[in-house]
Structure 1
Amino acid sequence: MIYIVLSIFCSVTVAMLLKLAKRYQISIIQAVTINYLTVIVLSLLFFKPDFKVINSSAPWPIYIVLSVLLPTIFLFLAASVKHLGIVKTDIAQRLSLFIPILAAYFIFKEDFNQLKFIGLGIAFLAIILTFLRKTEAQSKSNKWLYPIMVFIGFGVIDILFKQIALHKELPYTTSLFVVFCLSFLVSIIIVATMVIRKKTKIQLVNVGCGLILGVFNFGNILFYLKAHKALASNPSTVFASMNLGVIVVGTLIGIIVFKEKLSKLNYLGIALAVCAVILITLSQLNAV
């Protein structure tokens, strides 16, 4: 269980760092780029990828799509944290499980039980209530697009990573390393383009923030994988604990530390999000 706790801590810390980025005038794209460089180095140390199995038969189209999606959605994640706070962003990220589950039903034709249908219905309602704004003026703001993109983006990313996991001839950690390398290249291209167009300047503070971000981003991945390995016979426990933990801890940090304002309907949405994760987890247990 210690690995789950550490993974939750790292995940929430990433959100906190993105929240603090505005205060210290951090260039998110520069920090994200250094973040991927840090993750690549740590992947080499901890995952020890097998370069011999990386060949033309690897799922390169999926690698390439992920390499574009990851840094892009990271920017939407940062924008969502900045404009709407940690609470709503964490809810959007965690309830993105809604998308791969729908894909499993409509695309991959998996059987669904009643609990999963109920869980999905509650998750949908939770999303609506969590993002409701207090006034008409606020509701017209385009800021709601950020968590929606986080929701959709992480859902699609989850589907693609699950497709990678189906390639049993390739170690999953080796595929992760390839995706991180390609994501770093995409981020470099974005930063270079922005520097050439004089829309940003390379600053040392962004490098420092990126290093810290990369350590916690990798820690989230490493401990989550270790939790699944340690609790191999209970993957649903890891799934539920991780999602519920991030929702609860992220909510407490957002409200207590960053004084984020939530309406009664938002609180109801958070409670329903917790219920949705529990029901979806129970549905997976019943399916086994």
Structure 2
Amino acid sequence: MMYLLLSILSSTAIFVLFKSFDKYGVNTLHAIVVNYLTAAVCGFVFSKSEIEFSTLTSSTWFIPSLMLGFLFITMFYVMALTAQKNGLSVASVASKMSVIIPIIFGITVFKESIGLAKSIGIFLALVAVYLTSTASKKKTKNKRSILVLPFLVFFGSGVVDTSINYFAPDDNIPIFSATIFAMAALLGILLVAFKTATQNKRIDVNVFPFGIALGVVNYGSIFFLLNALRMDGVETSSIFTINNVAIVALSTLCGLFIFKEIISLKNWLGIGMALVSIIIVSLN
């Protein structure tokens, strides 16, 4: 279970770093690009097999990994904005509630069973995302648009989690992860270059330590989770349940004690409902 523990800690660290960007005035997009460059390097460095470009491009997972790279950088940016605008616990819950989407994928594509309990769990999940996304009236005044962010995180993260687990090769997880991160980094570099040229903005050097730290834990979150999902004798639903519930709980504690976030009664209700719905859907 060491892989699972490391996945939980890595994923929680991502949310904490996102929140730190806002606190220390770090340019989110620039830090995300540095993050993906770092994560790609980690994947290639930790790969135990030789890297041949022809073999890489002919792999069945190469094209999906490029598409995932686009989704990664898009969702990472939205997730960062959610942590900054809505709070750490909101971003965490919205992201981890997306476990519902891989389950729906299994029902529709793999014809897995669905019963009353699972249906109730899915409904509770959607309600929980709304409750945890609702801040106080003072905070949401003239900022109703930020309520859209948690829902984007919810659906986007679900698609990413489903695709990663579906396309990842059992024998070459580091290279698969590195290819995704490299594609995301390339897209990010092009975007930053365009903004720099059109808006005359320079890259602040303070993004590098934050971006590198984010890249290390980001790579770890994917690498450890994929390895945890491939452990013998452990069901995927159990891994997703423990992983997502633990990240939600730990991220909420970090928001409370590190960043002094204020959690309303409605938010607490949503967080509790989120945990219950994840358990109901995953275990049924």
1:162 aligned to 2:165? yes
Q: Please name the residue that 1:255 is paired with.
A: 256
Selected match of 1:153 from 145, 153, 156: 156
Q: Please name the residue that 2:47 is paired with.
A: 47
Q: Quick one: distance in 2 between partners of 1:82 and 1:102?
A: 29
Tell me the percent identity.
Answer: 29
Q: Quick one: distance in 1 between partners of 2:139 and 2:85?
A: 15
Distance 1:137 1:191, change over 3 A: closer
Q: Quick one: distance in 1 between partners of 2:208 and 2:138?
A: 40
Q: Which amino acid aligns with 2:6?
A: L
Q: Which amino acid aligns with 1:51?
A: I
Cα drift, residue 230 of structure 1: 4.6
Q: Please name the residue that 1:286 is paired with.
A: none
TM-score (norm 2): 0.89
Distance 1:123 1:196, change over 3 A: same
Q: Please name the residue that 1:201 is paired with.
A: 202
Q: Please name the residue that 1:15 is paired with.
A: 15
Residue-by-residue CA offset, 1:20-39 (whole Å, 9 max, x unaligned)? 11222211111111111111
Q: Which amino acid aligns with 2:202?
A: K
Q: Which amino acid aligns with 1:87?
A: S
Matched residue SS, 1:204: coil
Cα drift, residue 105 of structure 1: 2.7
**Does the Cα contact within 8 Å between 1:8 and 1:246 map onto a contact in 2?**
yes
Residue-by-residue CA offset, 1:11-50 (whole Å, 9 max, x unaligned)? 1111111111122221111111111111111112223355
Uncovered stretches (5+) of structure 1, i.e. residues with no partner: 284-288
Q: Quick one: distance in 2 between partners of 1:250 and 1:131?
A: 15
TM-score (norm 1): 0.88
**Does the Cα contact within 8 Å between 1:240 and 1:281 map onto a contact in 2?**
yes
1:227 aligned to 2:225? no
Distance 1:9 1:95, change over 3 A: same
Residue-by-residue CA offset, 1:198-245 (whole Å, 9 max, x unaligned)? 253112111121111111112222332343345543433322221111
Q: Quick one: distance in 2 between partners of 1:25 and 1:136?
A: 23
Q: Please name the residue that 2:178 is paired with.
A: 177
Q: Please name the residue that 1:273 is paired with.
A: 274
- Aligned CA RMSD, in angstroms, stands at 2.3
Q: Quick one: distance in 2 between partners of 1:62 and 1:251?
A: 33
Residue-by-residue CA offset, 1:86-140 (whole Å, 9 max, x unaligned)? 1010000000112222233345543323332222122122112222343398276
Q: Which amino acid aligns with 1:282?
A: L
Q: Which amino acid aligns with 1:131?
A: S
Q: Please name the residue that 2:190 is paired with.
A: 189
Cα drift, residue 268 of structure 1: 0.9
Q: Please name the residue that 1:126 is paired with.
A: 128
Equivalent positions of 1:202-217 (< 5 A) are 202-217=203-218
Moved more, 181-190 or 51-60: 51-60
Cα drift, residue 263 of structure 1: 1.9
Distance 1:200 1:148, change over 3 A: farther
Q: Which amino acid aligns with 2:136?
A: K
Q: Quick one: distance in 2 between partners of 1:2 and 1:135?
A: 42
Moved more, 203-212 or 54-63: 54-63
Q: Quick one: distance in 2 between partners of 1:235 and 1:163?
A: 12
Q: Quick one: distance in 2 between partners of 1:204 and 1:232?
A: 46
Uncovered stretches (5+) of structure 2, i.e. residues with no partner: none
